[in-house]
Amino acid sequence: MTSPQLPAVRLCEIRDTPLDVLEVVAAVDDATAGGVNVFVGRVRDHDSGRGVEGLEYSAHPSAAARLREVCDRVVAAHGVTALAAVHRTGTLQIGDLAVVVATAGAHRGETFEATRDLIDWLKAEVPIWKHQRFDDGDEEWVGTP
């Protein structure tokens, strides 16, 4: 349980170390929350019918500030009690966690909507780029301007 005086955005980071789902869930723990919703994005072994060997995420220097703006906007739009979002940078292998987000609120409906908006807005607005390596030796950048 946590104090109601804590800010709604409890964890908002871009980091180059492995992510931990339990850390993110713990960050949104709150006695007022009846629902907690979590999304975990992992590196998969394929994309558009092609085999993926791994990838690397890079972030623009403004990415952390943009992520904070997205987090604040989600809280304002959905009135959730607590929110956490962490995105990974660096070299990742198949199965590694790339992003973990969670929201907590009085009811499940608001947390489902808030979590969907959080991950969708993060992917659309935070300048983080993915460099995929395919098993045929080809590669591509995703999300670059």
pLDDT digits (tens, 9 = 90+) for 37-71: 999 999 999 999 999 999 999 999 999 999 999 99
pLDDT class of 88 with cuts at 50, 70, 90: very high
pTM over the 0.95 mark: no
Q: Which residues of 96-122 are buried (b: 16+ CB within 10 A; e: fewer)?
A: ebbbbbbbbbeeeebbebbbbbbbebb
pLDDT digits (tens, 9 = 90+) for 92-129: 999 999 999 999 999 999 999 999 999 999 999 999 99
Determine the distance from the C-alpha atom of residue 14 to the mean position of all C-alpha atoms in its chain, rounded to a whole number. Answer: 9
pLDDT class of 1 with cuts at 50, 70, 90: very low
Instruction: Identify the three-state secondary structure at position 6.
Output: coil
What DSSP assignment string belongs to 10-33? EEEEEESS---HHHHHHHT--TT-
The one-character DSSP state at 133 is E
pLDDT at 84: 98
**How many other C-beta atoms can be found within 10 angstroms of the C-beta atom of residue 128?**
22
Distance CA 116, CA 138 (A): 32
Task: Look at residue 130 and tell me whether its pLDDT is greater than 50.
Answer: yes
Domains located in the chain, CATH noted: 9-142 (3.90.1170.40)
